[in-house]
Amino acid sequence: MPHVVTFGEIMLRLTTPGQSRFAQATELEVTFGGAEANVAVAIAQFGGQASFVTKLPDHELGQRAIDELQRCGVYTSHILRGGDRLGVYFLEQGASQRAGKVIYDRAGSALAMAEPSEWDWRKIFEGADWFHWSGITAALSPACAAMVQQASAAARSLGLKVSFDMNFRAKLWSPARAALVLTPLMQHVDVCICGASEAASVFGIAAASDEAAAIALAERFVFKAVAIPQRHSASASATQFGALLRVGGEVVQSRRHEITVVDRVGSGDAYSGGLIFSLMRGDDPSHANDFAVAAGVLAHTVPGDFPLFSLAEVEALAGGADGGRVQR
């Protein structure tokens, strides 16, 4: 089984239950999540090997983050312990015309305060085939951007494939700052996942179509593959999800699924995890994109960041099942 390493921050996610608001909730649901951790979980759930790298404080809630990853089958032996804080994010789910809301409380986290010298990438990548990171990690601190740079370079030099998901977060940095930090890092990236509007706002790629955006990205940064996730949300309760994928010169477009939303956080990461898994096992671009989109769709139907569904479920949806029958 191929082996993927992902690197980033995992946070304690505290979610208001049901449709209750921050002003109302008398309890918060405890889960954990973070873009790169979610990708690792996806790959482990599908049957691949996945290792998640981060730094976590040496207290019970830092340990809990590790427990939750282990439970999903993710390798945690390269996680460092130390620092003061576990990043936290508070999530209020939206409903109908009321948008979901995130309050980030992640400044000063163990990872954000870590130093590049703490990591031995050569050791971390032993036996690995693929390295994945996202823009969020680079946004956490200049040191984190440096770590990503070192990790990506090491990965490439060791023969790993490198994938990158833009994951632009306006509450973490500006598009201009993102462009400044990310542009030099793109040279180490093989597979780029980036929404069309992110390509426009961060990289200034104002394309007339998703295909054009994919081509422009691929040409500017010499990516082997570019994926453009596509969403259209009528409200907080209903959305469409699909994606365009360009591998080499081939462009494939998935169907667009109409979704009754349970939890949209982490659906992009499920797409990324699905794409990496599918490309790693050698699927053709069309199936890889359909598989990844199916993973993204299912992620909307499961509470929490983590993509807790199986290879068989993703394959079934990619193959046309609609979920309309109880399996009994």
Among 154, 291, 300, 305, binds its own copies (CB under 8 A): 300
Q: Which stretch binds its own copies (CB under 8 A): 2-10, 148-156, 182-190, 254-262?
A: 254-262
- Looking at the Cβ atoms of 206 and 321, the one nearer to its own copies is 321
Please tell me whether residue 197 binds its own copies under the rule CB under 8 A. Answer: no
Other beta carbons within 10 angstroms of residue 170's beta carbon come to 9
Other beta carbons within 10 angstroms of residue 216's beta carbon come to 18
d(CA 33, CA 11): 5
- Looking at the Cβ atoms of 244 and 299, the one nearer to its own copies is 299
- Strand 257-260 relative to strand 238-247, pairing: antiparallel
| Shortest Cβ 308–its own copies spacing (Å) | 5
Q: Write the binding mask 1 to 20 for its own copies: x where contact by CB under 8 A, - elsewhere.
A: -------------x--xxxx
Instruction: At 166, list the tokens.
Output: 């833009």
Please tell me whether residue 174 binds its own copies under the rule CB under 8 A. Answer: no
Indicate the length of the chain as a whole number.
328
Please tell me whether residue 222 binds its own copies under the rule CB under 8 A. Answer: no
DSSP state of 320: T
Locus of tokens 């999903």: 72
Please tell me whether residue 312 binds its own copies under the rule CB under 8 A. Answer: no
d(CA 219, CA 213): 10
Distance set, CA 233 to CA 36, 78, 165, 238 (Å)? 24, 38, 21, 6
Among 262, 281, 286, 287, binds its own copies (CB under 8 A): 262
Contact 214, 251 (CB under 8 A): yes
Q: Catalytic annotation on 269?
A: yes
Amino acid letter, 147: M
Task: Please identify which of the residues 190, 210, 263, 269 carries the catalytic annotation.
Answer: 269
Q: Which stretch binds its own copies (CB under 8 A): 92-100, 188-196, 200-208, 274-282?
A: 92-100
Other beta carbons within 10 angstroms of residue 204's beta carbon come to 11
Q: Which stretch binds its own copies (CB under 8 A): 97-105, 158-166, 199-207, 272-280?
A: 97-105
Please tell me whether residue 25 binds its own copies under the rule CB under 8 A. Answer: yes
Q: Nearest Cα to 242, choosing from 252, 227, 257?
A: 257
Please give the residues from 109 up to 168 whose contact with its own copies meets the rule CB under 8 A: none
- Looking at the Cβ atoms of 158 and 308, the one nearer to its own copies is 308
> Which residues have a catalytic role annotated?
269
